[in-house]
Amino acid sequence: MSLRRLTRVTTQAGALVLAGALVAACGSSGPAGGGGEGGTGQVWALEDAALNPIEEASIDRFNEGSDSGELELATFGNDPYKQRLRVALGSPNAPDLFFNWGGGNLKEYVDAGQVEDLTGLLDENPELRDAFLPSVLAGAELDGKNYGLPMRGMQPVMLFYNQAVLESAGVEVPQTWDELLTAVDTLSAAGVTPVALAGTQAWTELMWIEYILDRVGGPEVFQAIRDGEPGAWEDPAVLESLEMLRELIDRGAFGDDFASVGYDVGGASTILAQGDAAFHLMGSWEYTNQLNDSPEFVEAGDLGWTTFPAIEGGAGDPSNLVGNVSNFYSLTSSSENKEAAREYLSTALTDDQYISDLIEAGDVPPVQGIRDQLAETENGDYATFIYDATADAENFQLSWDQDLPADEATEMLTQLEQFFLGNQTPQGFVEAMSGV
């Protein structure tokens, strides 16, 4: 999980929309793991100053009303958590429920037989399945089986824009790829960098190829890559998508200085807010960042947002999203507290108080029927936009660098950085990734 993306959201969680899902400065290291039969079940999660108290309160309410057993929360910093979880799963010190990111991050443990199949739980409780937005629930689905339930908000990647810049240049918000290319040409001619890009960090560049490939080939193309199918990187849609991205770069969409712009220091966001760029493709936490760092920009009504443009003739549904789908709780197959854990999964994650607490903290939970609650928040227009976009999404793809094995993800980001710098060709990228 990229700390660079979600740490900023966490540190600003008390702001308004989309508090993050990662590291904060407090929390306990928790017990060593595993509650045995008749003991207290362990729930492992990441440290988060805004959300840990909500999770703790949820577990306390469960313990007060449950006859099946008790649970307790243990929290960890991001990097220690990943290593500790990998060591603990399959050992006597495994937690009963554990926080994860779904997708390939979860697949490693599923393939090792360390995660309980929750499909039966959902089949027995269809109201539980129906309580979650389908595109988000699918984030923990592997080979048609479910291995986790959403326990935090969602963070899709959106195309943000400076409305004042667009109006000055006579540019409309692009709904299609061709309209985006036209906008790039018009903005460049007006002396404005079309798209702000924090090119010092390859994960910001990744968002572009993620969306283009989805629109061109549909989600199945990357799913084949994620699943390690032979020749998956050589799918013609991958090369076509890279060629389209190459055209966008060569057209001057990102200007000449993107390789020196950072995100963590607010570089790309500031460029957008100050009117030096028209667009910025970024995770939904960008709104909170702008509200905190450039409040006058937001208050003037100049910050706009939309979904990624459709690509005419492509196989991907224009409603599809990429980004951080959600975080999930999964049940370890070795748990000796399965009754309590299953009851918690069945009742606590859709509990009215839990959902209200998440919304109050700035999250947009992936739960059906909460739109009116979101609309009543201080930034209801934005919160409901994120909710509606996710509810309407045919597919929600987890960010590639989180969905792929670590070594493959690292090589992909390295190749992508060289691609943006002009040191790698579309065909060379395909060949490099095919050899990983």
pLDDT digits (tens, 9 = 90+) for 356-412: 999 998 899 999 999 999 999 999 999 999 999 999 999 999 999 999 988 999 999
Assess whether pLDDT exceeds 90 at residue 264.
no
Question: 50: pLDDT confidence band, cut at 50, 70 and 90?
Answer: confident
Of residues 386, 133, 190, 377, the one with CA closest to residue 282: 386
CATH superfamily label, 156-322+405-434: Periplasmic binding protein-like II (3.40.190.10)
pLDDT value at residue 82: 86
pLDDT value at residue 24: 30
Assess whether pLDDT exceeds 70 at residue 33.
no
pLDDT value at residue 103: 86
Assess whether pLDDT exceeds 50 at residue 10.
no
- Cα(361)–Cα(14) distance, integer angstroms: 6
Question: What is the chain's mean pLDDT, rounded?
Answer: 90
Assess whether pLDDT exceeds 50 at residue 296.
yes
Query: How confident is the model over 220-245, as a mean pLDDT?
Result: 97
The segment(s) of the chain belonging to CATH 3.40.190.10 are 3-154+325-389, 156-322+405-434
Domain 3-154+325-389 has CATH 3.40.50.300: no
pLDDT value at residue 5: 44
- Cα(380)–Cα(16) distance, integer angstroms: 10
pLDDT value at residue 13: 34
Assess whether pLDDT exceeds 50 at residue 417.
yes
Question: 105: pLDDT confidence band, cut at 50, 70 and 90?
Answer: confident
Maximum alpha-carbon separation in the chain: 71
pLDDT value at residue 79: 78
Assess whether pLDDT exceeds 60 at residue 12.
no
Cα distances (Å, whole numbers) of residue 119 to 145, 146, 147, 247, 356: 6, 5, 7, 44, 27
pLDDT value at residue 31: 39
- Cα(385)–Cα(391) distance, integer angstroms: 10
Of residues 17, 81, 70, 72, the one with CA closest to residue 48: 81
Assess whether pLDDT exceeds 70 at residue 11.
no
pLDDT value at residue 70: 96
Assess whether pLDDT exceeds 90 at residue 255.
yes
If 0-12 CB within 10 Å is exposed, 13-18 middle and 19+ buried, where does residue 312 land? Answer: exposed
Sheet holding 41-46, edge to edge: 71-76, 41-46, 97-100, 328-331, 149-150
Query: How confident is the model over 259-283, as a mean pLDDT?
Result: 93
Question: 323: pLDDT confidence band, cut at 50, 70 and 90?
Answer: very high
pLDDT value at residue 406: 85
